[in-house]
């Protein structure tokens, strides 16, 4: 489970450039579904990769689902060599994504995201239409219900 407020404070405190995607973004748009992790699309510039490494380092990041004791070093070099990381941290489960299927990277989506003020912080959140698009592009059967709900949300929002 993720402590969303703590996560936003930690990520924002580190000056990280990121966009909230996935279930928390869906919830921000009005979804009624429960989610247990936070998915963020981080900007893959050298400076931001350094920030991501430094911001999460004090919070015990570790590969989710990996056996305990596996050698894993969370630093800028690891992030540069990888792309998408599903992590456990002291503040909960965090997916740090360099790219998302059907959407691409931070630069491709930043103009399709909106800063929202939440918990006294400004957090970029992916807009509803691209959120539906990337969920559909992922093509996972488990997302079908979530996509249906997001499309219904869009209809309700457009109607009101």
Site of interaction with another protein (CB under 8 A): 1-5, 24, 27-28, 30-32, 34-36, 112, 116-119, 125, 129-130, 132-133, 136-137, 139-141, 144-145, 147-149, 151-153, 156-157, 160
Pairing of strands 85-89, 92-97: antiparallel
What's the half-sphere exposure (Cβ side, CA atoms, 13 Å) at 120? 4
Task: Give the count of alpha carbons within 13 A of 40, CB side only.
Answer: 23
Q: Which is nearer to another protein, 82 or 139 (CB)?
A: 139
Give the number of other CB atoms < 10 A from CB of residue 120: 9
Shortest distance, position 89 Cβ to another protein, whole Å: 15
**Residue placing its CB nearer to another protein in the complex, 55 or 113:** 113
Report the C-alpha gap between 151 and 149 in whole angstroms.
Answer: 5
| Shortest spacing between CB 13 and another protein, in angstroms | 18
- In the complex with another protein, the residue whose CB is nearer, 82 or 104, is 104
**How far apart are CB 125 and another protein at their closest, in Å?**
8
**Smallest separation, CB 42 to another protein (Å):** 20
For residues 36 and 2, the answer to whether their CB atoms sit within 8 Å is yes
Strands 37-42 and 92-97: parallel
Q: In the bound complex, what is the minimum distance in angstroms from residue 66's beta carbon to another protein?
A: 22
Is the CB of 27 or the CB of 80 nearer to another protein? 27
CA distances from residue 148 to 24, 66, 141, 151, 154 in whole angstroms, order as listed: 16, 32, 12, 5, 10
Closer of 53 and 125 to another protein (Cβ): 125
């Amino acid at each position: 489970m993720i402590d969303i407020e703590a996560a936003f404070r930690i990520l924002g405190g580190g000056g990280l450039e990121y966009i909230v995607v996935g279930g928390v973004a869906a919830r921000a748009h009005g979804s009624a579904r429960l989610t247990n992790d936070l998915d963020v699309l981080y900007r893959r510039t050298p400076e931001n990769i350094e920030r991501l490494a430094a911001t999460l380092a004090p919070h015990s990041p570790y590969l989710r689902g990996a056996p305990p004791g596996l050698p894993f070093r969370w630093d800028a070099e690891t992030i540069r060599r990888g792309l998408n990381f599903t992590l456990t941290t002291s503040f909960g489960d965090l997916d740090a994504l360099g790219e998302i299927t059907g959407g691409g990277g931070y630069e491709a989506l930043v103009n399709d995201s909106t800063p929202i003020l939440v918990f006294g912080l400004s957090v970029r959140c992916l807009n509803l239409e691209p959120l539906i698009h990337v969920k559909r592009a992922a093509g996972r059967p488990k997302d079908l219900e979530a996509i249906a709900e997001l499309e219904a949300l869009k209809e309700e929002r457009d109607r009101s």
